[in-house]
């Protein structure tokens, strides 16, 4: 395929002041020794947005640090052992990685040595579409044949697919993630054959790496085809302990499309998991999710107000009770999951309930701890239980009982 050229004037990320500062610094130390690489070049050629800008260079890591400092930029040795220095210009980070080759791999990490050969650096990359380089003039360099994959948006492993997978089993998940984001049809059959043969290698990956890839995949506009393939290959069972629910996931994605909503990885995961608190708790622990992520998911499946959530479509009092019990975020998540899970949804608009939750202001609970201390309660668990009991009564009676009426109910026990 004839080499392509990216017109820098049409790609602002190439000519932005911060980008120019970094490239100028590297070129000053090694003329012709710095090129854009990977996702930024791939996305520019595919007409997709460019988010992160990665740069490959003939300079070794220490020389990158020296070049950055000489230009008044900030180098951060984020992955120096593997050749990566993050260079910060105008507050923007750029990953600058020295050309390298793998010396040894174990399926999770690699020992590398540095090289001056662009083709040798390309041969250690995962997919041909990710092994494209572009210089500051926009000339695209294609050592592995990646340009041939552009038209079909096909992700083909560099060299031997099985070798690439054995080097790092995360590449199995990356294949499905890239397919979800940028794929244009059938997945490369050679890649799938290699995945099928080595799929058990995913067990060797850390939970954190698996979860990061899964979140990125679920953030794609429509990852359903990729998720289905993963399920067919047994990957969901390996990662989650269940095959997952494509029906509920499809419902959430349909909502996103209909209302122009940004994909929400956490809500989509809750839909895919399609389980109760215990299942979610087990999955969160297995994938080593953060506390905040775990709380979000637990709220999305909390059964404490399940009946009120189901009644909320036609009963504002039930909606208020559910919001008080769950919080607005969890209520909205449950409403969306409830609507997505319907086989034949009735004519109702879940967005009205979501808006209601965001705008609804919780009234002030009229009873304080001090009120009960005056009645003889000691500070501690019994006091907390009494307050919880009164608040439950207050919510059930739609926030109408006064302080005196609530205390009267308590003293009758």
pLDDT, mean of residues 269-288: 92
What is the pLDDT at residue 411? 64
* pLDDT over threshold 80, residue 346: no
pLDDT at position 234, please?
93
Task: Please state, for a pLDDT cut of 70, what percent of the chain lies above it.
Answer: 96
Domains, the chain, ranges and CATH?
1-151 (3.30.460.10), 302-360 (no CATH), 369-411 (no CATH)
Task: Determine how β-strand 100-105 pairs with β-strand 92-98.
Answer: unpaired
Which three-class secondary structure state does DSSP give residue 46? Answer: helix
Cα separation, 239 vs 265, in Å, equals 16
Average model confidence (pLDDT) across the chain = 91
Task: Tell me which of 188 and 389 has the higher pLDDT.
Answer: 188
| Confidence check: pLDDT of 413 > 70 | no
pLDDT at res. 1? 44
Instruction: Grade residue 51 by pLDDT with cuts at 50, 70 and 90.
Output: very high
pLDDT, one tens digit per residue, over 82-133 is: 899 999 999 999 999 999 987 777 666 777 889 999 999 999 999 999 999 9
The answer to whether the CB of 165 falls within 8 A of the CB of 171 is: yes
The DSSP string of 70-139 is: HTT-EEEEEEGGGTEEEEEETTEEEEEEE-EEEEEE-BS-EEEEE-S-HHHHHHTSSBGGGS-EE-TT-B
Q: Locate 103 and state its tokens.
A: 């010396």
Using pLDDT thresholds of 50, 70 and 90, give the confidence band for residue 139.
very high
Amino acid 347: pLDDT:
45
Residue 382 has pLDDT above 70, yes or no: yes
Instruction: Report the alpha-carbon distance of residue 211 to residue 217 in Å, rounded.
Output: 10
pLDDT of residue 263: 97
DSSP code per residue over 185-218? SSPPHHHHHHHHHHGGGGGGS-HHHHHHHHHHHH
User: Which H or E element spans position 56?
Assistant: strand 54-57
Q: What is the pLDDT of residue 3?
A: 60
pLDDT of 409 above 90: no
Residue 45 has pLDDT above 90, yes or no: yes
The continuous run of DSSP H or E covering 246 comes out as: helix 246-259
Q: Which tens digits make up the pLDDT trace of 205-230?
A: 999 999 999 999 999 999 999 999 99
What pLDDT was estimated at residue 364?
Answer: 84
Q: What is the per-residue pLDDT across 292-308, written as a single tens digit (0 to 9) for each?
A: 999 999 999 999 999 99
pLDDT average, residue stretch 254-268:
94
């Amino acid at each position: 395929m004839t080499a392509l050229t990216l017109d820098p004037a049409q790609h602002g990320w190439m000519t932005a002041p911060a980008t120019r500062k970094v490239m100028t610094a590297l070129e000053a130390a090694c003329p012709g020794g710095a090129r854009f690489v990977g996702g930024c070049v791939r996305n520019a050629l595919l007409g997709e947005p460019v988010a992160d800008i990665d740069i490959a260079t003939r300079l070794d890591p220490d020389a990158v640090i020296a070049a950055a400092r000489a230009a008044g930029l900030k180098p951060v040795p984020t992955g120096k052992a593997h050749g990566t220095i993050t260079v910060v210009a105008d507050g923007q980070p750029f990953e600058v990685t020295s050309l390298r080759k793998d010396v040894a791999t174990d399926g999770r990490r690699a020992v590398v040595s540095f090289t001056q050969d662009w083709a040798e650096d390309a041969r250690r990359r995962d997919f041909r579409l990710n092994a494209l380089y572009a210089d500051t003039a926009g000339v695209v360099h294609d050592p592995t044949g990646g340009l041939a994959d552009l038209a079909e948006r096909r992700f083909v492993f560099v060299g031997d697919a099985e070798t690439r997978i054995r080097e790092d089993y995360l590449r199995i998940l990356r294949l499905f993630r890239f397919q979800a984001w940028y794929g244009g049809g059938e997945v490369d059959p050679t890649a799938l054959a290699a995945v099928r043969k080595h799929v058990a290698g995913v067990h060797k990956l850390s939970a954190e790496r698996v979860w990061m890839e899964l979140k990125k995949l679920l953030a794609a506009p429509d990852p359903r085809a990729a998720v289905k393939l993963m399920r067919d290959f047994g990957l969901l069972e390996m990662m989650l302990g269940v095959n997952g629910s494509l029906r509920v996931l499809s419902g959430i994605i349909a909502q996103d499309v209909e209302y122009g909503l940004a994909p929400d990885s956490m809500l989509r995961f809750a839909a895919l998991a399609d389980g109760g608190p215990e299942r979610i708790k087990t999955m969160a622990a297995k994938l080593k999710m953060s506390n905040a992520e775990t709380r979000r998911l637990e709220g999305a499946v909390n059964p404490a107000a399940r009946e009120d959530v189901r009644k909320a479509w036609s009963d504002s009092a039930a909606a208020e009770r559910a919001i008080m019990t769950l919080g607005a975020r969890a209520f909205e998540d449950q409403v969306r999951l409830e609507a997505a899970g319907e086989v034949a949804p009735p004519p109702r608009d879940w967005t009205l309930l979501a808006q209601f939750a965001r705008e609804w202001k919780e009234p002030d609970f009229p009873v304080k701890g001090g009120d009960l201390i005056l009645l003889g309660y000691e500070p501690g668990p019994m006091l907390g239980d009494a307050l919880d009991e009164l608040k439950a009564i207050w919510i059930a009676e739609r926030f109408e009982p006064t302080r005196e009426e609530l205390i009267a109910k308590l003293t009758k026990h």
